[in-house]
Structure formats: structure tokens, C-alpha cells
Chain A
């Protein structure tokens, strides 16, 4: 494996140009913490961005942060923490689910765009990337977006680059919108609801004026073996449905009590506060029920996005047919499914159910063999897939960057 550790954007340009000339695709990594997600990439050359790790500027009053793409994610979070700010899309830390070291860069975080529980209120990674400097598959440095929150100057290229898993361009510097951390948080916990009832309770909460920032449901069977904060709230095989409210203290408390009343037909809610609440949501965000350190370490894990109000029905059906386990986030709009091992991670059966529900499923944890054998990303209608591929080629016509990461036909 040939590794190129770049020092600046010019190095990246040169590396990409050389790769074009030698027709040798590059795998782009920061810390490499998410290399085991996606289709295996057919290359022997690594482009390592971890040395591009400087904070360019942080202006808390402007709610703006500009950092180089290889900046360690944990350091960036710690920096924001000094000003009591955060990324409100609550990016997932994949280390516990994948069983990898707890590392990662901001570039990787944006590239995969895996938003956490607050996505239902604050949007995803794509809603927080304001500007980017990157090197395209033409070997050219370009910039897109800007350093202000309100900007419609030219195409919104930042949206394309977020969640493209490095197949459009090599990011060298990103400007992100940051937000103040809430003063207080309250989490309502409802017990022993089945998936359908929990889905209904979450739908009622999300349709209320109480500004919900998290709505998750953990069936008792998924919760049973969990260690840590979520394990501590688990009670005798009962499910737990959690609904989060954030804001100034008076508001969070008042909304929590109003919401308890609204949901009283679903049972009496227990209310958990502040740091105890935050610990629960960190575990939900990182899908700790299916952690690699737990009993389902060998089970493939799917991330399914579906219309939220039908999540309960879909999840129940997936669990029943696959003999697997599911947990729900985003009020039912995000289902994590851990399925008993099989050669194809039960892809065809699962995707049939997901398609019928109007959703899509991505295989997040699986062995390389399985990822080689099936489509990791959800197959799309042919017109959309072709358009997406034309757009990708408009950045990287020779498929030099992370070739095949999102497409099985390119990865082989």
C-alpha cells in the first residue's frame, strides 16, 4: 500500500494529477476510522489528509468555524465546547458500532454525513456545511459556498460534497455552521410500548408545538444486553421510548410537563434531566445497542431511512422476518437493524420491505466479503442513478477518487 501524506492543498492537487496520469485511483482517508463502510475500494494508493489538521478560524459570535479537513473530530468538538457550542446535527461517532479506535476527522464526518438524533429538528450535516475548499478529480483546487449562513451565490455544491463519501472531491478545508449548546435538556421516558404504539407516541410528540429534538424507541429485546447509560434505564425486558426537549431551563421543564400530559394515554412518563439525558442520547446516536463489544458483534447492521410514521410497522416486520433486532430514532424515520449473519446480510428481503415503505437502506457494518457481494448503498431508480453518476463524473470523470465506494459496478 502506497500512502501519500499530504501537507497542503497543493500536495493534494499534485497527488490527484499524478493519479490521473498513472490511472491509479486514490483512497482518501483522514484517520481511516470509517474505511470499513461502503463498497471495498479497488486501489493500492492512499491519500492521507491527517496532516491537514489546523483550525483556520473560529468565530463563536458569527457561529462559524473554519478547519482543515484532517482536523481530529474530537479536538474540534473540544474547541466548540470551550464556547459552549456544538454541531447541532449531532454527528454519529461510528467507533463503538464498528469496533474501531475512537478517532476520526472532520472531513470524514462531513463525507459520510451520518447525522444523529437531532436531525429531526436541526437538519443533517448537509445543512451545516457552509463552504468548502476541495480538489476535484480534474486535479484542480476549487471552492464553493462561503463563510456566511445565508448564501445563494451559485450552485449549492456543499450539498453534493456532503455525504458523497469522498467520491466527488478531496476536501481540504471546510466552513461549518455551529450553534449554541442548549442550556437544559429533558428526556421523557415511556415504558413498555410496542413498536407501533411507540411510533404513534413519537408521531404525536413531533406533531406537537413542543419542539422535540430527539425521539427514539428501543425495544426490550434490543435493550436487554446493553451496558452503560442505556443499560441502566433498561427494566425487565421492557421497551423504552425516549423523547428529548432542549432549550432554556424554564422552557425545557415546561414543555416536558406539557408533553407528559399530551402523551398520558401512553403511560406515565419518567423525566431524566441534563447530563443524564445527554448520556442516553450519545448512546442512541452511536447505536450502542448493537455495539461491536456486545453480543451482536458479528451481526450485520443496516441503517434504514423511511417515512417516520410508518417506521414502527416496517421495523417490526424486519425484525420478525429476519429474526433480528431493531432500534428506532428520528421518531421512526431512522431504523437501525442488526440481523443474524448470512452471506448477503439478508439484503434482498430487507430491501423489498424497505422499498415498499418508501425508504432506503445502507449496510453500515459488515465484513468485506459481504460488502463486496451486495450493494452497500440502496439501489436507485435508473434515471436517478444515472443522473447521480453524471454529476459525480462532472467532478471526477476518471473515477480517481474513492473509486466504487458508493457503487458496486465501479468497485470491481
Chain B
């Protein structure tokens, strides 16, 4: 384990039995889990390289219970780590040895479906896909579609501001939320927004979304639903060179076409996926683009023609167009199975998640190839090309000495490169613990201090999910100090009127 977590609070650990007893009073029945064996499933999330058993697991099933648990922990200085389905790829729900792990898995109800206002009110443990399923009979769906949508919870989506293949056209979680109920660390219950297009006052909904469980615990979510597009078709386009594929992506966007999804895979990813699912991917190309157009049939047919023409102009060597829903799904099957497919060719892999300006793609792929040689580790790339979101998969074997450290160093180099070319450390997986120590690559101390001050407004004692997102923890009192720089105006040359 190369990432340090906050020092354990021995005083809290010494009181573990009393804490368990107190929590059992607040969440009666089977809501408190404290045996080592039963806590095992909670010791990591989707970022499985790191594991840590929690002090105790609590599974409340009402907002009131969440509020009581948080207030108790607040009053007794006990840290809390919230958890949805535990599918985070950045360690956002990694437990702490001296913290209560607060699981929201029992919040499973769809509370209200309001087709007239195009809104659904759900509890945070409802899975992303279950929302779409609950409204599918009326032709509606919930647009953000992270790959883990079958398992990931909507509360976790809010915490991570999850995206997905369709976020290019339909936005991420933050663009599809209408309201939420959160419980602050002191137990206070706050309701923001509702069925209106925007809440009143400051955009607190916006700051909570993507705050990685550091600001509050989400206990209810209201999302916007959309009517399903009439039809969707996909093109599968092969290029002999990555540069040409990158140019094609830029030209499609430049032509004013915003596809429902636009995905790229490089040669290693294509080969791994094809060997796994036999989607009919061409094996003699360096880059494969899957472009999906959705909307009314007349629009999709026309845009398919335009994209095909652009691809040809950019030098595509193969182009297949789906003629049936079955074929469209076949095109996607390889892309959707890319991670497990890579899992078959390598004992372990590290999935990275940076975003770059689209134009920087060829440069970034070239530099990644050099790094791959330097570290002696393979890399396969799948890429949400439309919005510049890279997912390099670094291949390694954890049983070989130093390979995990090497893979982590390789990953860190890739993310530094993303920032260097004008991009960011994470496009959709979150900072968590994985990218925490890289935050200074993108933000200076003042930037990070300002973000941490926001944390102080929600959780002044820093008890909620500490050790995530921020590389250095500061006391709120220290962050809140205003430095006065002399009383006189320091710029006599400034024009005055």
C-alpha cells in the first residue's frame, strides 16, 4: 500500500465495543455488523488494490437513522465513510480502520414516478439501471449510463458525478439531477431542489454532486428522465492510424454532429475484445471507432451518411453500419466487455481515467507507448473519444515483485501527461484515494485550500470520509483565517473614475 491514510484515532478504537452498542440502539435489528467475517465484503470497493476492514458497518434504512448515526459520530468525534454499492473505481468508499462504514444499501425504494414533470424520486441505494427500468414501460429512461449501471447506486452516482458512454450528448449525473436530500455530519437533514428545473439560491446541488462523500450523506435523489430516442444506429469504423481516427472524431464534432456515443479502442484493446466476444472487429487496424447516432429515424439515417463520409475523408479503412438492433448491440459488445477482455490477457490491470483535449490524442497515445516501453508494462486503451475521456488499462501481475508499484507509477505518469496537455486527472471515476496525491499536479495550494474551505462549511471537524480527494488535511480554523495586507491601497497607478 503506497497511499497513506490518516492516523488512526486510538481513543476511538479503544471504545469500539461501546460504539457498537450505541449504534445498535440507533439502528436496531440487523443494521449493525461488527464481526470480522461479516465485514469482509465491505473492506474494499471497485478499486480492489486497496483493502481495509472498517471499525464497524452500519446499514440504516431511514433518513432519521442516518441522521442519528451521524449526530452520534459527530458528537463523539468518530469518522464516517459512506458507501453505496461499493463500485467506485478510485477508492472513494475504502473504509478506515477507525471509522464507521455507513452503507446505504437498504435505501432501495423508488418513491415517486412523475411522468408529467419528467421526474423520479428514489432512495440512494436504487441502482442506476433500476431507474430506467422503472420508467421503461412509458418509454422513458435515465440518461447517464456508467458501465457499472447494473450494480452502481444512484447515491453513489451523485457522490461521484458519474458519466458513461452517453454523457457526450446527455451529460453526466450533475446535468440530470433535480434535487436531493442530504444529511450533514452533524445530523442535520437538508433538502435541496425538487421537481423544478433549478433550485433557489446558491447551487448547493451542484457542489454536492461529485463531492465524493465528503460533504454529506445523500438519502434521497430526484432525477430528470427523458423519453427514449426513437431509434439508434451505430457505425464501426477502422483506421490504419490513431491520428486519422482522432481527426475523424474532431471533424464529426466540428461538423456540428453530437453523437449519442463516440468510442475509440486502440490495437491491443481491439484484439483483447475480439478474442473475448467475437464482435467481428477488424484486427488489421490501429484504431476502431464506434459512433452511435440516436434520434428520429430520418435524422439518424442522414447523420450516418454524414459520419461515413467524414470517416472516408479521414482515411478510414473499414466501415460497417448497423442494420439491426442486434448488430448495433454486437458492435457495442466488444467495447462494453473491454475491461474483462483485458482481464483475460493479463493477471491484473489498473484502469486509469484522465481527460484530454481531443486534439491531443495522438500525442498522448504516442507518449503512452514510450512509457509502456520504459516501464516494461503493456497498455490497452479504450477511450470516450467524443469527450476526450481516456481509459488506459495498464497490464501487470501483482504476484511479480514491484509490478504493482511500477503500474501505479506508470498510471501517475499518464495522468501527469493528461494535465500537461491541458486535460484533467479524472473524467468520471473520481479522485478518491487513487489520484489524491496527484491533485497538486492540477491545483496549487490556494486552489486546494479553497476547495477544503467548502468542506469546512459542511463538516467543520473533517469527520466525513477523511483521507479522500485531498492530499493534505488542514484544520478549518487555519483555512478560515483572512490575512490582511496593510490598510492602504497598494496600486496608486490604477485608473480611477
Contact = CB atoms under 8 A, between A and B. Distances in A.
Contacts of A255: 296
14 contacts: A7-B494, A17-B484, A21-B485, A124-B198, A146-B442, A150-B172, A154-B443, A155-B455, A162-B203, A164-B203, A209-B228, A250-B302, A383-B190, A385-B201
Interface stretch (A95-103, A132-140, A228-236, A276-284): A132-140
Pick the 7 closest A-B CB pairs, nearest first. A159-B206, A180-B256, A251-B299, A360-B200, A309-B116, A307-B195, A390-B457
Contacts of B491: 11, 14-15, 18
Interface string B469-497: 10000000000101111111111001111
Nearest to A155: B451
Interface in A216-260: 247-248, 250-251, 254-255, 258
Interface in A1-39: 2-7, 11, 14-15, 17-18, 20-22
B482 A398 contact: yes
Interface string B137-165: 00110000000000000000000110100
A144 interface: yes
Contact of B203 (A150, A153, A163, A380): A163
Contacts of A163: 198, 202-203
Contact of B496 (A2, A181, A308): A2
A61 interface: yes
Q: Interface SS of chain B: helix, strand, loop or mixed? A: loop
Contact of A159 (B207, B229, B455, B494): B207
Given A3-B497, A15-B494, A155-B211, 7 more contacts: A18-B488, A61-B253, A138-B483, A149-B168, A159-B205, A180-B257, A333-B197
Given A150-B355, A383-B189, A394-B456, A208 B116 contact: no
B298 A250 contact: yes
Contacts of B489: 14, 18, 22
Contacts of B251: 61
Nearest to A310: B117
B430 interface: yes
Interface in A100-114: none
Contacts of B358: 61-62
Nearest to A333: B197
B210 A150 contact: no
A123 B176 CA distance: 9
A400 to B, nearest CB: 9
A153 B426 contact: yes
Given A209-B230, A250-B302, A391-B457, A152 B118 contact: no
A159 B387 contact: no
B296 A377 contact: no
Contact of B447 (A6, A144, A254, A384): A144
A334 B197 contact: yes
B355 A21 contact: no
A126 interface: yes
Interface string B62-73: 000000000000
Nearest to A151: B424
B196 A152 contact: no
A229 to B, nearest CB: 25
A381 B191 contact: yes
A257 to B, nearest CB: 11
B8 to A, nearest CB: 26
A359 interface: yes
Contacts of A3: 496-497
Contacts of B496: 2-5
Interface in B357-391: 357-359, 384, 387-389
B206 to A, nearest CB: 3
B303 interface: yes
Interface string B199-233: 11111111101110000000000000001111000
Given A61-B358, A156-B210, A390-B457, A150 B250 contact: no
Given A62-B358, A307-B196, A251 B302 contact: yes
A394 B447 contact: no
B450 A5 contact: no
Nearest to A146: B424
Contacts of B495: 5
B347 interface: no
B485 A139 contact: yes
Contacts of B458: 387, 390-391
Interface size class of B (residues with CB under 8 A): 35 or more
A372 interface: no
A157 interface: yes
Contacts of A11: 491, 494
B425 A153 contact: yes
Nearest to A161: B203
A64 interface: yes
Nearest to A141: B446
Interface string A175-193: 0000111010000000000
Interface of A: 2-7, 11, 14-15, 17-18, 20-22, 48, 59-64, 84, 119-120, 123-124, 126-127, 136-144, 146-160, 162-164, 179-181, 183, 203, 206-211, 247-248, 250-251, 254-255, 258, 305-310, 330, 333-334, 358-360, 362, 377-378, 380-381, 383-385, 387-388, 390-395, 397-398, 406
B318 interface: no
A22 B487 contact: yes
A210 B298 CA distance: 12
Interface in B425-451: 425-431, 435, 439, 442-443, 446-448, 450-451
Most chain A beta-carbon contacts within 10 A, residue among B172, B200, B298: B200
Given A127-B175, A152-B429, A308 B197 contact: yes
A150 B175 contact: no
Given A20-B484, A140-B446, A305-B196, A384 B201 contact: yes
Contact of B171 (A62, A123, A152, A159): A123
Contact of B389 (A150, A154, A207, A392): A150
B483 A305 contact: no
B468 to A, nearest CB: 11
Contacts of B484: 17, 20-21
Given A156-B174, A397-B482, A126 B427 contact: no
A207 B171 CA distance: 19
Contact of B296 (A124, A207, A254, A309): A254
B45 to A, nearest CB: 16
Contacts of A4: 494, 496
A123 B175 contact: yes
Most chain B beta-carbon contacts within 10 A, residue among A152, A394, A395: A152
Contact of A395 (B175, B190, B448, B453): B453
A21 to B, nearest CB: 4
Interface in B397-425: 422-425
Nearest to A304: B196
Contacts of B140: 207
Contacts of A59: 357, 359
B288 to A, nearest CB: 21
B188 interface: yes
Contacts of A153: 424-426, 431, 435, 439, 442
Nearest to A159: B206
Contacts of B201: 377-378, 380, 384-385, 388, 406
B117 A160 contact: no
B196 A155 contact: no
B190 A61 contact: no
Contact of B202 (A20, A64, A392): A392
Given A360-B200, A390-B457, A155 B207 contact: yes
Given A181-B256, A208-B227, A150 B427 contact: yes
B303 to A, nearest CB: 7
A355 to B, nearest CB: 11
Contacts of A62: 250, 253, 357-359
B46 interface: no
B206 A148 contact: no
Contacts of B199: 360
